[in-house]
Chain A
Amino acid sequence: MTAITATPRAPARPRPARARDVLASEWIKLRSVRSTYLTLLFAAAAAVGVGYLVTHADATHWATMSASARAAFDPVGDSFSGLGLAQLAFGALGVLLMTSEYASGLIRTTFAAVPRRRAVLAAKAAVVGAVTLVAGEVIAFATFFAGQQALSTHHLEVTLAHPGALRGVLAAGFYLAVTAWVGLGVGALIRHTAGAITAMAGAVFLLPQIVHALPAPWDVTIGKYTLDLAAQQTIAQHPAPGYFGAGPSFLIVAAYAAAALAAAAFLITRRDA
């Protein structure tokens, strides 16, 4: 039988663990499964495709639109009509990064290799954050340009130089990354794929709808603090009446990601793997 060691064994000389190593490990994990690419592709197709269809339809119906609808028309926000589907995919990507390890049992191998569990969570957040931020911005710009292309047939388009347009596009990409972070945090808290995706989707999509249905003024009073309605204000050219402006809304969106990851970091060392 082959010897286990290639070279004579030196006494174990423990070098301190490096954050770089944990990052490298999580990077290999993320890029070595097909689902990562499929998820991002689906998100891109959904955001660009739905955005194009909706803007195209709005441009076609422009002639028959009411004056008030025309006044409220937001060419930037309109092109992001398919963002919800993309978000679902990004959120699932974040959830799966954590729950797939719990489902397969790999998490025990991971934590045995890196007992500092928060370092694992931080590395996952950094890796998925970097990937989804880049992918999210690419998707956001592609969605914007596709939508403006559709609107240009009726000369309704705006350029990035238009006030608030660039900010709205960047915010849409950022919102996608935030959804992945929220997914990662919720995945670490719930640890089961189906439950975590349901909770994530409920918090991102269902909760704002319920709040939106509340009687005035509660719909806005509470609604401006929900993730999705706050994110809408960062993308829209003008905030809806009663809602925060883009700046404060941006902070609310970021706070959701921070809160989800903080809760995950709090619990991850307190439970048996």
Chain B
Amino acid sequence: MARRDSRPRPGSLEGVTNYPKGTDMIEVCELTKRYGASVAVDGLSFAVRPGRVTGFLGPNGAGKSTTMRVILGLDAPTEGRAAVNGQRYQQLARPLHQAGALLDAGAVPGGRSARNHLRAIAASNGISARRVGEVLGLVGLEGAASRRVRGFSLGMKQRLGIAAALLGDPPVLMFDEPVNGLDPEGIHWIRGLLRQLAAEGRTVFVSSHLMSEMALTADHLVVIGRGRLIADTPIAEFVQQGSSSDVMVRTPRGGDLAGLLAASGAAVTAAPGGGLAITGLDAGQIGDLAAAHGIPLHELTPRHASLEEAYMELTRDHADYHAGLPEQSRKAA
């Protein structure tokens, strides 16, 4: 389904103010949230736009869930603001028609049946019991609708939480770590669902701490660490930057080789710890060039940084907790 196509430049913050005020989108502006002395979110600004899946990426404890709670009006921001469809969430009339969210699949009381759980949520926004049946079918839970939620697997609870988010058929959807605890079939299903929701023109905002997951589903990334924005970029650009490869060369005649390489159009930089990092020529070309000029090579190693490593590199200094690995092993390609 086609939607309005007046999208501003992806990732530009100026767009937040130029955009025809926040239709079908999420805006976060200079958001800070402190809990006592600890800062969960620190001056965060970004916008989530319709028609694509935006991944919200960051290590555990980076402030993703806090940001989502503030967007939903559950936590009050210490400073700054968040808006859904151009309004503070609390000002939305019947908010389930405008934004649906899955925050924590486990947050369902066990004593109620899936259908009654959804009916209670639906009723609060004037949504019919018929729509409850529809969303149960949509997530494949119609067979378990009368069962009490207590006996549900985590995967079934995820589906139930997604059903609740879809009740109001909202143009804006937020999911906090929706693939956690899912089996491969469930993960496959949810990827398809996210893509479909975005293809229908909805704003889809999905948090994850797994780069690999986002690489498969997201069109755009908002990366945060320690509550601060690290990147707000199309995934294609992130992949391009992240998956850069080079060739590591060690030679006693570094100066001579660097000159020859530069003359052949390669980019040469001194690698930390000695040696040259070369881009623009592959290992074979470099080896041939060195051989032709009689330059001995002690090492010739093609290096490929994966997307996962690019993400690790990007967020390393922003992770609250990480294992105390030696510098070397974290950098190894």
Contact = CB atoms under 8 A, between A and B. Distances in A.
**A interacts with B:** yes
Interface of A: 1-6, 8-9, 12, 14-18, 21-22, 24-26, 28-29, 32-35, 100-101, 104-106, 108-116, 272-273
B49 to A, nearest CB: 17
Contacts of A18: 126
A12 B98 contact: yes
Given A1-B193, A113-B125, A272-B74, A34 B111 contact: yes
B90 interface: yes
Contact of B112 (A6, A16, A32): A32
Contacts of B121: 25, 109-110, 113
Interface string B110-132: 11110011011111111000000
Contact of B93 (A1, A8, A15, A104): A15
A29 B120 contact: yes
B104 to A, nearest CB: 5
B interface bracket (residues with beta carbon within 8 Å of A): 35 or more
Contacts, number: 128
Contacts of A3: 200
B305 to A, nearest CB: 35
A9 B169 contact: yes
A115 B92 contact: yes
Contact of A106 (B69, B75, B109): B109
A74 B191 CA distance: 71
Tell which of B85, B90, B192, B193 has the most Cβ of chain A within 10 Å.
B90
B95 A273 contact: no
10 contacts: A4-B169, A14-B92, A14-B97, A25-B124, A32-B113, A35-B111, A108-B72, A112-B101, A113-B124, A115-B92
B116 A272 contact: no
Contacts of B97: 12, 14
A149 to B, nearest CB: 36
Contacts of B93: 14-17
Given A109-B164, A112-B74, A4 B196 contact: yes
Given A1-B196, A14-B98, 8 more contacts: A4-B196, A4-B200, A14-B93, A15-B93, A26-B120, A112-B89, A113-B95, A272-B75
Nearest to A8: B1
Contact of A105 (B101, B104, B117, B126): B104
Please provide the 6 A-B residue pairs with the shortest distance between their CB atoms, ordered closest to farther: A105-B107, A25-B124, A32-B116, A14-B93, A272-B75, A24-B123
B46 to A, nearest CB: 20
B280 interface: no
A190 to B, nearest CB: 18
